[in-house]
Amino acid sequence: MFQRLIDEAPLFFNYHNLVFILEAMGRTLGMTIIGCTVGFTLGLIIAVLRRSESRTLLPFRAIAIAYVETFRRIPFLVILFIVLFVIEPLMPGASLFAIATVSVCLLSTAFLSEVIRSGLESVPEQQIEGARTLNFNALQMLVMVILPQSWKVIIPPAAAFIVMFIKDTSLASQLGVIELTFAGKMLVNRGFSPVLGFGAILICYFLLSYPLSRFAAYLEKRLASS
């Protein structure tokens, strides 16, 4: 078996394969970055909405709660297929990558909104009362008092979620998106040894998630000491 690997390695690590793998890695990374950026933004809005006591916002709160509670409970693969079958007839030209990215955003928004919500809830009520009696409005309270005190609670589970998420994007291969997992399968189908094909993919996943974990650990430490 080793002989086979040694014979194959120069063939495997050619320019085309490397570009192919890097492109696939780019798609995995792209889905993750877009998913997390959108997830954080919409998740924050939903988390804030769920805390609001305003009556005019009540219908939006109901929708937000229904959305979060539903999408947290559907397997990601199912979300992918739902989005596929909803978007395809509406926008026939939509790319598979776009469909997968939309699915990723739907999932990450639901999960990250819960992470952010528990972070916001960790801030003691007294902090909020102090701000209210000094005439802070809701936005000022959020930006100046609540969020700065929630980061240290939000970041560890958010980072764990994002690392999990990088791996979950592999399900998009089921749709035909050529991301890392699909690329690995294709390489093996072209006749390369699975050890080489999936080995390369394994290293790529590691390269994507390890720096993120380290960065989150660094942030966590910095926020805890301040």
Partner 1 sequence: MPHLEIDNLSSAYGPNEVLKGVTLAADKGEVVSLIGPSGSGKSTLLRVLVGLTRPTGGSVFVAGEKIDYGDRKSLRKLRDKMSIVFQQYNLFQNMTVMRNVSIAPIKIKKRPKAEAEKEAAALLEKVGMADKHDAYPEELSGGQQQRVAIARALATHPEILLLDEVTSALDPERVNEVLDTIRTLTNEGITLIIVSHEMAFVREISTRVAMMDEGKIIEYGSPGVIFDAPNEARTEEFVSKILKH
Answer yes or no whether residue 132 interacts with partner 1 by CB under 8 A. Answer: yes
Contact region for partner 1 (CB under 8 A) — 41-49, 70-78, 135-143, 171-179?
135-143
> What angle do the packed helices 147-168 and 96-121 form, to 10 degrees?
150
Least spacing, CB of residue 54 vs partner 1, in Å? 11
Interface of this chain with partner 1, residues 80 to 109, rule: CB under 8 A: none
Q: Helix (H, G, I), strand (E, B), or coil: what is residue 191?
A: coil
**Other beta carbons within 10 Å of 12:** 19
Answer yes or no whether residue 148 interacts with partner 1 by CB under 8 A. Answer: yes
Contact region for partner 1 (CB under 8 A) — 16-24, 72-80, 143-151, 179-187?
143-151
Cβ-count burial 121-133 (b if 16+ within 10 Å, e if not) = eebeeeebeebee
Residue from 3, 56, 133, 189 touching partner 1 (CB under 8 A): that is 133
Interface of this chain with partner 1, residues 149 to 188, rule: CB under 8 A: 149
Contact region for partner 1 (CB under 8 A) — 5-13, 81-89, 100-108, 136-144?
136-144
CA distance 157 to 49: 21
Four-point Cα dihedral 180, 186, 187, 188, nearest 10: 110
